[in-house]
Amino acid sequence: MNSHDEVLTNFLDLLIQRPNANELLKALETDLLSDFKPSNAIVYSLDSHNTSKEIYSNNSLANGITSEVFDSVLKSLPEGSNLDSLTDSKIGKSTNNDFIIMPISNGKSLKGFILVNLDCAQLTPDDLSLIEIIGKVCAFYLMNELPELKHSYKIEDLTAKVQLSARQLQIIHGFVEGKTNHELATDLGFSVSTVRHETMEIFRLLGASDRKEAAKIAQERNL
């Protein structure tokens, strides 16, 4: 079984290679989430009427996935919740615990979601935290990769009002200087795991795919 640190390292390595949607979804199944035995990963778009539409899948409904799955996920949310409750990038689960939903949001409204078929009942809080980090970054990455999502997304909209923590700014400064995770951890007094976690969060906040892009966006936005 891969450690969570190892999974995040593999994820960062994958993003550096700028995978297409197929490669990213396949990596979710065969590598990043392989310990949880997922059988499919599907991307849905969501229109202004909250109507979902499958736009990308490795196995395209091969496992009997239907439109009712998303309704099941919504029913599993706390009473009074709606689609907007997913725009904070929190993952959801289907009522029968066999699907994870990773929301794709521009920070203001839900634009779509990634549905991953796996056994949620076996997930620990740490597992859910790992999946949430991966889901956040995958969601922003796919906003740039898939035309059905890209038309409603501008990276400027997400970065215009972004506020990074002092720790995240220090790490971005390290990106500019070309420092490794281990060098940043030593210089800043953090663990390597913390640096990796903050790096993923920086990518999510800025909609960046790698360190170079994150540093460029931060500099352009005077963050």
CATH number of 155-220: 1.10.10.10
**DSSP codes of every residue in 157-214:** HHHTT----HHHHHHHHHHHTT--HHHHHHHHT--HHHHHHHHHHHHHHHT-SSHHHH
pLDDT tens string 6-45: 888 888 888 888 888 888 888 888 888 888 888 778 787 7
Strand order in the sheet with 92-93: 52-57, 40-46, 110-117, 99-105, 92-93
pLDDT tens string 149-178: 755 444 444 434 466 788 888 898 888 888
Residue 105 CA, chain-centre distance (Å), reads: 10
pLDDT tens string 87-125: 555 677 776 777 888 888 766 667 778 888 888 888 888
Question: Domain segments of the chain: what residues?
Answer: 4-150, 155-220
Superfamily (CATH) of domain 4-150:
GAF domain (3.30.450.40)
Angle of the 181-188 helix axis to the 166-176 helix axis, nearest 10: 130
Q: How far apart are CA 76 and CA 85, in angstroms?
A: 12
Q: Are strands 92-93 and 52-57 parallel, antiparallel or unpaired?
A: unpaired
